[in-house]
Amino acid sequence: MKMIIVTTVEEYKKDVLKIFKKAGVESFSGSDIDGYKGAAPLMYTSSWFPSEKGGAASNMFFSFTEEEKVTELFKLLKQFNEESETTNPIKAVEIPIERTV
Question: Does residue 73 belong to any structural domain of this protein?
Answer: yes
Question: Does residue 101 belong to any structural domain of this protein?
Answer: no
In 3D space, the residue among 16, 19, 5, 7 whose CA is nearest the CA of residue 57 turns out to be 7
Question: Does residue 13 belong to any structural domain of this protein?
Answer: yes
Write the pLDDT tens digit of every residue in 86-95. 889 999 999 9
The DSSP element (H or E) to which 67 belongs, if any, is helix 67-83
User: What is the domain-level CATH number for residue 67?
Assistant: 3.30.70.120
pTM reported for the whole predicted model: 0.82
The sign of the dihedral angle between the CA atoms of 11, 43, 92, 61 is: negative
Evaluate if residue 45 carries a pLDDT over 80: no
Q: By residue range, what is the domain housing residue 77?
A: 2-96
Most distant CA pair in the chain, distance? 46
Question: Does residue 8 belong to any structural domain of this protein?
Answer: yes
Backbone angles phi, psi at 14, to 5 degrees: -65, -35
> How high is the pLDDT of residue 15?
97
For 14-68, list the strands marked E by DSSP: 29-35, 56-65
Domains in the chain: how many in total?
1
